[in-house]
Amino acid sequence: MNYRSIFAPGLFAGRTVVVTGGGSGIGRCTAHELAALGACVVLVGRDEGKLEAVCQEIAQDDGEADWQACDIRQEAAVQQMVGAVVARHGRIDGLVNNAGGQYMTPLEKISAKGWEAVVNTNLTGGFLVARECYLQGMRAHGGAIVNIVADMWGSMPGMGHSGAARAGMVSFTETAALEWAASGVRVNAVAPGYIASSGMDHYPPEAGDMLRAMRTTVPAGRFGTEAEVSAAIVFLLGPAASFVSGSVLRVDGARPQARMGWPMRLPGAEAQGRDAVRPYDGFHRAVTPRVFADQETGKPA
């Protein structure tokens, strides 16, 4: 089996796209889809083993992929990484600024060190990678950047450090879209909601019941898939979005619209089977998070 993308074959032929956080989760899925559409994908992350494994998967699926180990929180390391990509591949046409991470804890228990670690990963690191891709490549020939943020509309209780960083990345997206437009560079963001991704495997076991119950707070009545986020990213990188810049595309099943006083009417089986809301499972190598693996279907509920 190969990636079942809805986009035209060869859409990114001859293009080089950098995907940070490409060793797992949404980054891994997006890298597979871009490679399936003809891109040369450069995976960036700190875990060399994960990057190599995804590159091998893409090669097995007849795609082209490379990798560069980098701690995106370190300015010199980012400058060197981007320079190496340009030297090896000639140019960078697209960037998926996906690397990130956080942990669950209330604000009063977050130390300065913990706050800085999350902000540096989710905001400063993304800025550094985008800036260097612009300076070392896109300023001369244009390109497209997609920053991955989060469903932080109205706050992120329990993960306030991440919410602050993601909100900052939205503002950065809007500013970069304006400042870099004259160079033919588009900058947008994708905000995933509750997505059944391998990132859930990093939460503590005691969070399992909460994670499984989260779908009842989503008007669509389910978790999203990695492929549904990847499709949004690919659209924003591609030519059909050539007049879209400075925007945030939410992929969240209308979760931020849930309100007290309005009864939550989750879709029944009949509605869930309709094309307009049926889960899109384009990623042929998707793995169900462990927190859902013991459910009857083995699929995100």
Beta-bridge partners for 145: 95, 187
37, 10 contact by CB (below 8 A) = yes
Task: For residue 114, give the H/E element and its range.
Answer: helix 112-119
Please state, in angstroms and rounded to a whole number, the distance separating the CA atoms of residues 12 and 30. Answer: 13
Structure confidence at residue 241 (pLDDT): 98
Please state, in angstroms and rounded to a whole number, the distance separating the CA atoms of residues 99 and 51. Answer: 13
Please state, in angstroms and rounded to a whole number, the distance separating the CA atoms of residues 97 and 168. Answer: 14
Evaluate if pTM is beyond 0.85: yes
Domains with residue ranges and CATH for the chain: 16-293 (3.40.50.720)
188, 173 contact by CB (below 8 A) = yes
Structure confidence at residue 1 (pLDDT): 73
Residue 229: exposure state from Cβ atoms within 10 A (0-12, 13-18, ≥19):
buried
Beta-bridge partners for 40: 16, 64
Residue 39: exposure state from Cβ atoms within 10 A (0-12, 13-18, ≥19):
buried
The candidate with the shortest Cα–Cα distance to 69, out of 49, 92, 91, is 49
Structure confidence at residue 294 (pLDDT): 56
Structure confidence at residue 295 (pLDDT): 55
Residues of the chain with pLDDT under 70: 202, 206, 294-301
Beta-bridge partners for 190: 148, 249
Q: Say which residues have a Cβ less than 8 Å from residue 35's Cβ, sequence separation at least 6.
A: 3, 41, 58, 61, 63, 64, 65
Please state, in angstroms and rounded to a whole number, the distance separating the CA atoms of residues 168 and 124. Answer: 9
162, 118 contact by CB (below 8 A) = yes
